[in-house]
Structure 1
Amino acid sequence: MLVPRLARAVFVPVTHVAFRPTVEGREHIPLNGAVILAANHLSFLDSFIIPLMSPRPVAFLAKQEYFTRRGLRGWIDRTTLTAVGAIGVPRGAHRAAQEALETALRVLKDGQAFGIHPEGSRSRDGRLYRGRTGVAWLALASGAPVVPVAVLGTDRVQPVGARFPRPGRVTVRFGEPLRFSPPTGSAAKARRDATDQIMDAIAALSGQERAAAYNELSGTP
């Protein structure tokens, strides 16, 4: 655990200098026990900014290949992912997606914080897309509260396709926790309803235009 702590000690002040973040609602994140942070997704940078601005470590899933790249870019990826406690997982077919959710569930069962982007992949047009139900599966299976999160400005700091971020201003808003009871009827409907409620809360924080469709360039659930 020493390496992640040291890396985080370096990256937090660097982030404040480079991106001058405005952080709202940190008090909504419980400091102990399992919690899910469900966020919008505008930039590759989102999964780094959220854990660094959170009052406690937050684990996100990351593509395994980010940990195995060579050269300077590979070193930067590994170091940054280590700093934020990212977990490498394979990407691919449905089974890989289910394995990713099971990995996330183990994180929650250990009483840790887990971050997820319900849209799947980054929004290319700035709209908030329909959420995939993996986030609700995790909430219902673990009993963990869900803190909605809105990240703003990261699409200007590191647009889709940009190799590295540039200085700019970002805002991170943490909303009030949402809690969901075990379903008494259809589990599929309960997951869909919970996911829609989570996306409504994210939209209220972000102010993004809504898209009725899924983002078809989806990654992890």
Structure 2
Amino acid sequence: MRLLLVRHGETPSNVDHLLDTAVPGPGLTPLGEVQAAALPAALADEAIEALYVSTLLRTQLTAAPLAAARGLEPIVRAGIRELSAGDLEMLPGDSPGGVQYLRTVFAWAAGDTTLRVPGGESGDEALARYDAVIAEAAASGAGTVAMVSHGAAIRVWTAARAANVDAAFVAARLLDNTGVVILEGSPADGWKVLSWQGAAVEPAGEPGPTGEALDSAGFDAAGLDTAG
């Protein structure tokens, strides 16, 4: 299956760099609406057969122009919502609580999935719900599936599940609003990233882009999808 993981368009909380992860969440800014309107053209070469969105309003608004252009009915699934900020909800990304959230979710990407966000979920729980939606899409038989989801969730799931990228790779690479990560594979055979926001990604074991050391520099509150 070809899997397109698309970050939603810009929201007011993105602009303010807040940990805004609760349902239903904010809508899009005027720029976010422009970004959403550009998605059909950006993905014109993709033979999308199914379109998934999360339970957060911003993903549904982002997907609407693409759904209309392709005649697809978006499938709403809570499993691909943003990684819950729990007790840290609505804190600035560069606050102590915001840094704690970012360090926790990137620890999940590196394999320490038993850690839990205060008042929120563990890495095991977050990855399991995301896996379940991916598995549903794969079982549908669709050749190409697009999922409009959230920056932290996309980056963490990709690092945890794709064979050719890791936590350092995703920590060193931002995912812009309506940025797209393209993967290929299946739950049974595993996944590999083909491109990250338009840049080709080398197969595992071959020379290619590498991540920076996984430290606070990788947890930029403006770049990480702290607002989901």
- Fold conserved (TM > 0.5)? no
TM-score by length of 1: 0.36
